[in-house]
Structure 1
Amino acid sequence: MNIEILGMGCEKCKKLYTATEQAVNEKSINAHIKEVKDIKQIMQYGIMSTPALVIDGKVKISGKVLSKDEIKQLL
């Protein structure tokens, strides 16, 4: 599974990254989590606000920070 956290590195982006790591670890999922900070790459997803969570190329949320439990439901 490939997971991307889209954002410029703001506090919300960091919180989403941490919550995603925790969710992946708790579900024992083999996943590669990557931060995407390049604005051109972010724009390719067509989102209007960050942070955003992308799982296997599909945008699951944008513009808010999900809790660890909310992320676990998306995985």
Structure 2
Amino acid sequence: MKVLGTGCSSCKALYSTVQEAVKQLGIDAEVIKEEDLNKIMAYNVMSLPALVVNEKVVSKCQKLTVEQVKQLLA
């Protein structure tokens, strides 16, 4: 899974939240922080941060809680 963002505080917060959700769920998953604008644009995302799971954008421009991320991953 990937967190798309340019390094802003919201992007960093989502990255931390996703890591915590993965830890709580006990999932063996790599969380990638994608900051390359060209790669982000390949997902057709204009609002950041965004969360990508299995190469599908599941959230954009939202400050998700750990519980919300866990629901998206379930």
Normalised TM-score (structure 1): 0.94
Aligned AA (2:69): I
Q: 1:18-69 CA deviation, whole Å, 9 max, x = no partner? A: 1101100000001010110010000000011100000110000011111000
- Structure 1 outlier segments of 4+, above 3 Å: none
2:14 is matched with which residue?
16
1:33 maps to which residue? 31
Matches within 5 A, 1:35-74: 35-74=33-72
RMSD between superposed Cα atoms in Å: 0.5
Q: Quick check: which one's strand share is greater? A: 1
The count of residues paired between Structure 1 and Structure 2 equals 73
Cα distance in 1 for partners of 2:28, 2:38 equals 28
Identity %: 40
Q: Which amino acid aligns with 1:72?
A: K
